[in-house]
Chain A
Amino acid sequence: DTGVSQDPRHKITKRGQNVTFRCDPISEHNRLYWYRQTLGQGPEFLTYFQNEAQLEKSRLLSDRFSAERPKGSFSTLEIQRTEQGDSAMYLCASSRGTGSTGELFFGEGSRLTVL
């Protein structure tokens, strides 16, 4: 069990640029989640996948955000035309999904700073 890994850990970009984050879940987990966390707040749900299917998207996920999990393994979260308000920690988590008790295993996050 190598845990959930996220890359990059830190990203600094200029407003208007595109950024992409990658998440590698625990290998036997079929569910993968993306959350956003800003300073002093709890994680806010963005979206989740069951295998390669994206099952739910939050209203927080504007048209500039897109997430994929093409082969049901790793996932990417892309933010286009970044804005200063996108600065946050982006957390990825995975779980066994159906049949489990819903426990999520989190990565250490990817911190985005938009200048």
Chain B
Amino acid sequence: AQSVTQLGSHVSVSEGALVLLRCNYSSSVPPYLFWYVQYPNQGLQLLLKYTSAATLVKGINGFEAEFKKSETSFHLTKPSAHMSDAAEYFCAVTVNNNDMRFGAGTRLTVKP
């Protein structure tokens, strides 16, 4: 079955610094990959998704992710962190458009 692993349960960056959140996937067939963000007491919002088109995917709020098949990775990046980026980020995978599996999440803290 497909799965994702998020490396680092907590990442802390300074405002204006690069954000890098790591995600590796496991799947025997080509996956669809997603990044969701969850703000306190809110539901999950889609940041971006990879669906086998372009390997570099751009999402909302200046985030992007690159699908690297050779590394089975789908890391999330943002060039310059903003205070409003502080949240929980989840990587997720689905195969054949069935149930979606999530990673354990990475909490991003942004220091002023």
Among all A-B residue pairs, the 8 with the closest Cβ atoms: A42-B102, A106-B43, A102-B94, A101-B51, A108-B43, A106-B44, A102-B97, A43-B102
Give the size range of B's interface with the partner.
20 to 34
- If A42-B90, A101-B32 touch, whether A108 touches B42 (CB-CB below 8 Å) is yes
| Complex: A21 Cα to B96 Cα, angstroms | 28
Contacts of B99 in A (CB 8 A): 33, 45, 48, 56
> In the complex, what's the smallest C-beta–C-beta distance from A102 to chain B, in angstroms?
4
- Does A100 count as interface, using CB distance less than 8 angstroms? yes
Contacts of B42 in A (CB 8 A): 108
| Complex: A16 Cα to B43 Cα, angstroms | 28
The total of interchain contacts (Cβ-Cβ below 8 angstroms) comes to 61
| Complex: A40 Cα to B99 Cα, angstroms | 21
Q: From A31, which residue of chain B is reached at the shortest CB distance?
A: B97
> In the complex, what's the smallest C-beta–C-beta distance from B65 to chain A, in angstroms?
14
| Complex: A97 Cα to B92 Cα, angstroms | 16
Residue B43 contacts which of A44, A45, A48, A109 (CB distance < 8 angstroms)? Answer: A109
> In the complex, what's the smallest C-beta–C-beta distance from B14 to chain A, in angstroms?
24
- If A97-B97, A98-B97 touch, whether A103 touches B46 (CB-CB below 8 Å) is yes
- If A33-B99, A45-B100, A107-B43 touch, whether A101 touches B49 (CB-CB below 8 Å) is yes
